[in-house]
Structure 1
Amino acid sequence: MRPESTNGTGGGGLAVPMDWLCAEYLADELLRRSGLVETGSLEYVAGRRTLALTVYLSDGAAPEEQLDEWLDRTSYGHPWPEWVRARLAARREREGDGEPGLALALETWRLLEDTQLLAADLGALPAPSAAGVAVDESARVWLPSWRLGLPLGHLSLHLY
């Protein structure tokens, strides 16, 4: 979103709210520092969107104070998509549709759900045995991008 004018007579403020800018910046920094995927890749974008949405919807203090919460939210087995839907609905009810940060969060969630990525089918893994688990990376399936972004974001948080 761009301000109405660049000569100082426009809308009088940022078109993108500071809380959303901070969430995206933090997500980007975490992913860049982790070095897990190439910046600009689809996986990177999915991870950045997933982390930004997690940070934005956490409503909290400084990142150092929220790291454990973000790790919990992005951990395997946590119902992250249900949590996102519930938090978005609560914000929508509280703030209405006109709040710019909420509009960006809703659009990010739509993109995370609608963008499909071809990835190894980790959901089809057998139960772990004493010998370990062999992943057949040739078995691929289309997944919503948050399904790849979530573990990537979680690993990035661990490496922070």
Structure 2
Amino acid sequence: MRQERTDGPGGGLLVPMAWMHAEYIADELLRGGDLMPPSTLEYRAGHAALALTVFLSGGRSHGLRADRIAEWRELTEYGPAWRAWVCERLAELEGLSFGPQDGTDGAPGTADLELARAAWRHLEETELLAPDLDAVVPPSLAAPRRAEQEGPQVWTPAWQLGLPLGHLSMHLF
């Protein structure tokens, strides 16, 4: 059993081990996929999306097993379905009654859940400028542009960019 507190039950520093483990796995998957530098906002969005996926699926496995990666790949396959799943799982966990630290049964502690909620709020509230895939027209119909122009762009929630990045990185891992 991992130690969650530095003191006895009356006080001490809470260590959100379940969330930290999920972040570690997300980082391993994204670095293994090698799609984006870790300094980009897209990487951070992918990291948060994967960490949420691992955390909310009960991903306290030992190492990166092929069966777990396949499960996470399936969960991240479709954006709107993933978003609904995240909201549903967070609501389920918020409705549970558990202590401030992780028990031997692997249930997340309150510190873990707080970090997961913060990650989800960040993914929902942060918008990134991305190519507008709905506005893409065939090159034959597009007006001639200078090479440095990127085309139409739109502001989109961070999870909509991070989720496909995380999903693709699992395929490349």
TM-score, normalised by the number of residues in structure 1 = 0.80
Task: Identify if the C-alpha distance between structure 1 residues 96 and 111 changes in structure 2 by more than 3 Å, giving closer, same or farther.
Answer: farther
Matched, 1:79 2:81: yes
Matched, 1:147 2:149: no
Give the equivalent residue in structure 2 for 1:40: 39
Residues 54-133 of structure 1 mapped to structure 2, 5 A cutoff: 54-60=53-59, 62=61, 63-64=64-65, 65-76=67-78, 79-95=81-97, 99-124=110-135
Give the equivalent residue in structure 1 for 2:51: 52
Alpha-carbon distance between aligned partners in 1 of 2:48 and 2:132, rounded to the nearest angstrom:
21
SS of residue in 1 equivalent to 2:130: strand
* 1:32 to partner: Cα distance: 1.3
* 1:78 to partner: Cα distance: 5.6
* 1:34 to partner: Cα distance: 1.4
Alpha-carbon distance between aligned partners in 2 of 1:103 and 1:81, rounded to the nearest angstrom:
18
Deviation sequence 1:4-30 (CA, Å, 0-9, x none): xxxx669445x3311111100111111
Alpha-carbon distance between aligned partners in 1 of 2:7 and 2:73, rounded to the nearest angstrom:
43
Alpha-carbon distance between aligned partners in 2 of 1:27 and 1:96, rounded to the nearest angstrom:
25
Deviation sequence 1:118-143 (CA, Å, 0-9, x none): 001124458xxxxxxx9x94110000
Contact 1:53 1:108 in 2 (8 A): yes
Contact 2:18 2:112 in 1 (8 A): yes
RMSD value over aligned CA atoms? 2.7
Task: Identify if the C-alpha distance between structure 1 residues 60 and 28 changes in structure 2 by more than 3 Å, giving closer, same or farther.
Answer: closer
Structure of larger gyration radius: 2
SS of residue in 2 equivalent to 1:59: coil
Contact 1:31 1:156 in 2 (8 A): yes
Task: Identify if the C-alpha distance between structure 1 residues 20 and 121 changes in structure 2 by more than 3 Å, giving closer, same or farther.
Answer: same
Alpha-carbon distance between aligned partners in 1 of 2:28 and 2:158, rounded to the nearest angstrom:
19
Alpha-carbon distance between aligned partners in 2 of 1:155 and 1:114, rounded to the nearest angstrom:
23
Task: Identify if the C-alpha distance between structure 1 residues 90 and 125 changes in structure 2 by more than 3 Å, giving closer, same or farther.
Answer: farther
* 1:76 to partner: Cα distance: 3.3
Aligned residue pairs: how many?
146
SS of residue in 1 equivalent to 2:58: coil
